[in-house]
């Protein structure tokens, strides 16, 4: 286990260095950094049920899972859909509500996040007790780097560790400095959790606020996404961003963005595609119009959810056990 922790630590350090170096290398005059977190589209297909249910299939399963439909017969499709419905019914009351269906769709769309957590979990749960403590994470991630007061790469690992610890404590709801898998997911992907959004804003402001006055002014805002690099002429998109800052970002017109204005910028209140799709699926399948679905109602409309041929739900069912 010690060797695994060392390899993970070295890989983490390499990736941190690589990402930072890449960011510096890509800081060209015409490059634009996007800090805004948008909800992804559920599918790149056109949502037109009169022509096909392809959009619904992508939304319900995720695009990658939906590609394997033709491997199963309709009978197998119905059987496996019934199994997945049992997973969606979180309170086990025999009904699938709009909220439960919405949660499933969000899970299906963000499966890559759970895969990332699984990979990192194995490298940080060093004692294999099903939990990751702050000490485990710190040792696996920073270990030897903290023993060198003057690292050759110039990175301040102690400062990075302090920032990670602050985020870990925020993700750790019960304050015991030991993360469950859900808390560890919130730590690694804070933008996905409402209770972590303040830390996302704080970290973003610390990155951009070069004079440390607690605000982001126009030049700091532009400087984060564009480097003049000796070029006096700004591209058109930079001029547009200046206008965006003045007209929309700086809502109170004081020449800078505070915490709330920064939050509105990087974490916009997007249209909830998952909820809209959940409501659509319930509306189309709810035979008795009671606002919720039974397993029978869903399976009867299996072609809406999974098509005439179904997908291999095996992986989805296993991954959803942690959901």
Residues in the chain: 323
Q: How many helices (H) and strands (E) does the chain have?
A: 17, 4
Q: Which residues have CB under 8 Å from 88's CB, separation 6+?
A: 96, 100, 101, 103, 104
Give the bridge partners for 256, in sequence order. Answer: 217
Nearest to 318, CA basis, from 123, 143, 84: 84
pLDDT tens track, the chain, 323 positions: 434 443 444 444 444 444 434 333 333 334 456 788 777 778 888 888 888 888 888 888 887 777 665 577 888 888 888 989 999 999 999 999 999 999 999 888 888 888 899 999 999 999 999 999 999 999 998 887 766 666 665 577 888 999 999 999 999 999 999 999 999 999 999 998 999 999 999 999 999 999 999 999 999 999 999 887 767 788 899 999 999 999 999 999 999 999 999 999 999 887 788 999 999 999 999 999 999 999 999 999 998 998 644 333 444 444 444 44
Nearest to 275, CA basis, from 102, 142, 154, 150: 102
Q: What is the dihedral of CA 7, 8, 13, 18, to 10 degrees?
A: 100
pLDDT of residue 316: 45
Terminal C-alpha separation, the chain: 27
Q: Which residue has the tokens 């419905």?
A: 85
* Domain ranges across the chain: 45-215+258-309
HSE-CB at 159 with a 13 A cutoff on CA atoms is 8
- Three-state SS for 67-80 is CCHHHCCHHHHHHH
């Amino acid at each position: 286990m010690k060797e695994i922790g060392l390899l993970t630590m070295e890989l983490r350090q390499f990736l941190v260095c690589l990402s930072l170096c890449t960011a510096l290398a890509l800081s060209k005059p015409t490059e634009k950094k996007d800090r805004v977190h948008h909800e992804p589209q559920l599918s790149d297909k056109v949502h037109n049920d009169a022509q096909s249910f392809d959009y619904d299939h992508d939304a319900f399963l995720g695009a990658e899972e939906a590609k394997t439909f033709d491997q199963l017969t309709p009978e197998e499709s119905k059987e496996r859909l019934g199994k997945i419905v049992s997973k969606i019914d979180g309170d086990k009351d025999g009904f699938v509500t709009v909220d439960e269906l919405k949660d499933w769709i969000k899970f299906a769309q963000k499966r890559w996040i759970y895969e990332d957590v699984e990979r990192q979990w194995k490298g940080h749960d060093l004692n294999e007790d099903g939990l990751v403590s702050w000490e485990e994470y710190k040792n696996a991630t920073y270990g030897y780097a903290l023993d060198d007061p003057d690292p050759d790469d110039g990175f301040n690992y102690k400062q990075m560790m302090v920032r990670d610890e602050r985020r870990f404590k925020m993700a750790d709801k019960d304050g015991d400095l030991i993360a469950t898998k859900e808390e560890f997911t919130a730590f690694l992907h804070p933008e996905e959790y409402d209770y972590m959004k303040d830390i996302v804003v704080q970290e973003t402001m610390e990155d951009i606020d070069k004079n440390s006055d607690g605000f982001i002014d126009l030049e700091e805002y532009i400087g984060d996404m564009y480097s003049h690099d000796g070029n006096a002429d700004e591209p058109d998109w930079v001029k547009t961003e200046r206008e965006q800052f003045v007209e929309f970002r700086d809502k109170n017109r004081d020449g800078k963005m505070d915490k709330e204005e920064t939050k509105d910028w990087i974490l916009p209140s997007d249209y909830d595609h998952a909820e809209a799709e959940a409501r659509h699926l319930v509306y189309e399948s709810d035979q008795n119009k009671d606002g919720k679905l039974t397993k029978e109602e869903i399976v009867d409309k299996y072609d809406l959810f999974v098509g005439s041929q179904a997908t291999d739900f095996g992986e989805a069912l296993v991954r959803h056990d942690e959901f």
